Chain A
Amino acid sequence: MESLIKCLIDCLIGEKLKVLRVNAGYHAKRRLANLGIIPGVQIIKKKAAPFRGPIEVIVKGTSLVIGRGLAARIVVLSDNSK
């Protein structure tokens, strides 16, 4: 039904997302790419730590914790149709 482009921190818990862009610096970007956070990949936002803490996502079947500052730079497409 509704598709939205958002940044990772603004998504709901449990939402299925597709990575669009990572607007981070060279090192962080390469690190994320190595771990599978690349455009087109499906991720699920698993949790967000309290007090505006980091975000946990499931990517390629494993959990990855990403600091909030970095998560804010990950642009995703949320697919609410399901």
Chain B
Amino acid sequence: MQIHKSKNKQDKKKKKVKEFINIGLAGNANVGKSVIFNQLTGLSQTIGNWPGKTVEKMEGHLNSLGYRFNIVDLPGIYSLSTYSLEEIISREYLVSEEVDVIINVIDATNLERNLFFTFQLLELKVPMILAINQMDILRKRNLKLNFERLEEIFKLPVIPVVAVHGTGVYQLLEKAIELVVYHQPTSHYIQDGKKIHEQLSNNDKKVNNDLSIKERFHFPDLSSILKYGKEVETRIYELIKNIDIHLEYFSTFNYPSRFLAIKILENDEEIEKIFKANQKTIYIINLAENYRNELEELHGEDISTIISSEIYTNIHKIIEKVVIVKARGEKKLVWAEKLDHLTTHSFWGYIILILILAGIYFFTFLIGGFFGGLIEDFFEVLSNIIYSIYGEDDLWVKIFWEGGLGGFFGGLSGVLVYVIPFFLIIEFLQDSGYLPRAAYLMDRFMHSLGVHGKTIIPMILGFGCNVPACTGCRIMETEREKKISIALTSLIPCSAVMAVVLGLVGRYVGITWVLILFAINFIVIIITGKILNKILPGQCTELIMEVHQYRIPNYSVILKQTWIRTKEFIFKALPIIIITGFLLEIFFIFRLLDPINFILSPITVYWLGLPAITGIFLIYGILRKELTLVLLALLANSMGTTLLGLLTPLQMIIFSLVSMLYIPCFATIVLIAKETNWKYALQIAGLEIGMALLIGGIINWVFFFI
């Protein structure tokens, strides 16, 4: 009895105690954050969104060394300013209660730019570990780093890592525990041959929840490396003094006073809002403005240039101390240079771009078609068995089998089998480093549509499937560009549309018309871009983008990313497909949709010159575009004829064209609404319907009069 009670008590106590450590992985793009993240969390990852924001949040967990680690892979950024939504979200997140330790992943081969971001992170005064990654490449370049010196300078753990081999990755966790347990970095990491986590008793391991780890952490004094020149520093000092007067107010925002001082001096809009929100602190904005003007006058430069220059100067001093050149002469990756030259060539670059787009189709189709066929065969065998048991006319069998399970198998064979190879090839392109080259080639052209070259990246993704591609538009920096990008991407003929066009026009009319249809689609994209560019307020921003050297892609990253994306699709999109399949089957059986054909007939029959039955097919097509063709084929089958007996070549062309353009598929519309708002999603849908009908009708009438 007694024992039981005390155990109960202990259990209660346990709940108050925090044994998990929240880690944020931060760093520039392409430094190896995701590889480290994958190494640590394996397949336990989820993709979510930041609350209220549409920037992807990758989260994963692992249990190790007696702790539960919660790891978040942050977007790759270069600064903690307000250039993109990703930067704002990252800094808010890093200072929030949700992060205990930052692991700053640094590309050893690009120390200067990476340390610029590190310097910004250091100003947040959050417990931090520096993970110097890609040490293997550094060694190949005959360079070495003095890690003891680095730890002396940063007074924080600095760990050499080769993420792709898993070297040093678990040491990062050990260091995280050390920071959490001792509230400061210690140099007595190994005592009596035992590592810290081995020495700790279970009680030591518990971290009290009443005080957050951050607050108890003694952040080292790094003023010697972080301080700016005297002119800047004295003004920051004055600002800090004024901020500290209102510390009670500012402490609710979690930013250190010095960070606030620097940012208000830099004219940071988001930080300014904090100062503006309180009557008593508004004056500091003016103070900062005066200081800013003084400094800009003094240096003859604008404030961000002054501050960035000083940070780079400080970084330079550090680099001189820690980089050791073992031998002269860097080895260059010749093939990577050559490939770069070829893929950005003013002629071959475009040829390769087109080949890659064709390759995406081809690969997605070939693999998807093969497995889709297998699943369909399997479904048919099952169907025959079911029908032979229950009979073909049983209503419930029809609803549940055709509707529910049919939807499920349809989802598998019609969508999932295409989604997987598509993600594979996209992740391959992403990991190899190709996509920014496409942005480089297309920048000029995309400007005429009101966006810069980066938009081409989600658009390329759109060739496989519009749904994840529209999500990809998050990489655009401004809301206006995101909106235009989404609209353009939703017009890209996805692999389902391709199936309709090839299966109908390609098969029965000829390749010329396929090309004409694609040309029309292309023109529609241009018109849409031009229209949106005109009507959306604001201006097109200029491209600023880092381009990385080509690499041999890492297959485990590709496979894992593909799996995560597929998992997301299975859980989020597949249920919708099954449920709607189910409902549609009910509508179909009870002929609830027949009136629709009648209502739509002025458009379908008179304006477009199509048979009335296509009205309902087009409605189905909103769900999944290839359904328009599938249903048409089914109908022809049941009438004992082929598609040729059902539609004239002209009708096929018009039907394909309308299917291609008339509306983004249902899943895409939902996604657009989530990424922007319902009003915009419906506007885009309306615009596309309008254009599809207009062009389809024109073709019909032109041929009518000829």
Q: Which of A52, A53, A60 contacts B441 (CB 8 A)?
A: A53
Q: Check if A30 sits within 8 Å of B304, measured CB to CB.
A: yes
The count of chain A contact residues (Cβ–Cβ below 8 Å) is: 35
Q: Check if B312 sits within 8 Å of A36, measured CB to CB.
A: yes
Interface size class of B (residues with CB under 8 A): 35 or more
Q: Check if A56 sits within 8 Å of B440, measured CB to CB.
A: yes
Task: Answer whether A36 and B113 are a contact pair too, CB < 8 Å, given A30-B81, A65-B440, A68-B444.
Answer: yes
Q: Check if B547 sits within 8 Å of A65, measured CB to CB.
A: yes
Distance in angstroms from B273 CB to nearest chain A CB is 16
Kindly report which residue of chain B lies nearest to residue A64, judged by CB atoms.
B546
Distance in angstroms from B302 CB to nearest chain A CB is 6
Contacts of A70 in B (CB 8 A): 542-544
Kindly report which residue of chain B lies nearest to residue A32, judged by CB atoms.
B544
* Residue A31 lies at the interface, judged by CB distance under 8 Å to chain B: yes
Distance in angstroms from A67 CB to nearest chain B CB is 3
Kindly report which residue of chain B lies nearest to residue A27, judged by CB atoms.
B83
Q: Check if B440 sits within 8 Å of A54, measured CB to CB.
A: yes
Task: Answer whether A51 and B302 are a contact pair too, CB < 8 Å, given A28-B544, A35-B113, A36-B116.
Answer: no
Kindly report which residue of chain A lies nearest to residue B442, judged by CB atoms.
A53
Distance in angstroms from A26 CB to nearest chain B CB is 7
Distance in angstroms from B58 CB to nearest chain A CB is 24
Q: Check if B302 sits within 8 Å of A64, measured CB to CB.
A: no
Q: Check if B444 sits within 8 Å of A52, measured CB to CB.
A: yes
Q: Which of B267, B445, B543, B546 contacts A67 (CB 8 A)?
A: B543
Kindly report which residue of chain A lies nearest to residue B109, judged by CB atoms.
A61
Distance in angstroms from B698 CB to nearest chain A CB is 31
Contacts of A31 in B (CB 8 A): 79, 81, 83, 544
Chain B proximity mask over A21-60: 1 for CB below 8 Å, otherwise 0: 0100011111111111011110000010111111010001
* Residue A62 lies at the interface, judged by CB distance under 8 Å to chain B: yes
Distance in angstroms from A50 CB to nearest chain B CB is 3
Distance in angstroms from A39 CB to nearest chain B CB is 7
Q: Which of B78, B541, B543 contacts A34 (CB 8 A)?
A: B78
Majority SS at the chain A contact face: mixed
* Residue B174 lies at the interface, judged by CB distance under 8 Å to chain A: no
Interface residues of B in 255-310 (CB under 8 A from A): 266-267, 301-302, 304-305, 307-309
* Residue B436 lies at the interface, judged by CB distance under 8 Å to chain A: yes
Q: Check if B344 sits within 8 Å of A60, measured CB to CB.
A: no
Interface centre among B436, B440, B445 (most CB of A within 10 A): B440
Contacts of B344 in A (CB 8 A): 47, 49, 56
Task: Answer whether A26 and B542 are a contact pair too, CB < 8 Å, given A38-B312, A52-B444, A62-B110.
Answer: no
* Residue A69 lies at the interface, judged by CB distance under 8 Å to chain B: yes
* Residue A63 lies at the interface, judged by CB distance under 8 Å to chain B: yes
Contacts of B83 in A (CB 8 A): 27, 30-31, 34
A61 to B141, CA, bound (A): 13
Q: Which of A38, A52, A56 contacts B308 (CB 8 A)?
A: A38
Q: Check if B544 sits within 8 Å of A49, measured CB to CB.
A: no
Contacts of B305 in A (CB 8 A): 22, 29, 33, 38-39
Q: Check if B445 sits within 8 Å of A51, measured CB to CB.
A: yes
Distance in angstroms from A81 CB to nearest chain B CB is 24
A67 to B442, CA, bound (A): 11
Kindly report which residue of chain B lies nearest to residue A47, judged by CB atoms.
B344
Contacts of A39 in B (CB 8 A): 301, 305, 309
* Residue A7 lies at the interface, judged by CB distance under 8 Å to chain B: no
Kindly report which residue of chain A lies nearest to residue B445, judged by CB atoms.
A51
* Residue A5 lies at the interface, judged by CB distance under 8 Å to chain B: no
Contacts of B447 in A (CB 8 A): 67
* Residue A11 lies at the interface, judged by CB distance under 8 Å to chain B: no
Residues of B in contact with A (beta carbons under 8 Å apart): 78-79, 81, 83, 109-110, 112-113, 116, 266-267, 301-302, 304-305, 307-309, 312, 344, 346, 349, 436, 439-441, 443-445, 447, 452-453, 541-549
Taking A26-B302, A60-B112 as known contacts, 20 extra A-B pairs with beta carbons closer than 8 A to each other, sorted by chain A number, are A26-B304, A32-B544, A33-B309, A34-B79, A35-B546, A36-B112, A38-B308, A39-B309, A49-B344, A49-B346, A49-B441, A50-B441, A62-B548, A64-B546, A65-B453, A66-B543, A66-B544, A67-B443, A67-B452, A67-B543
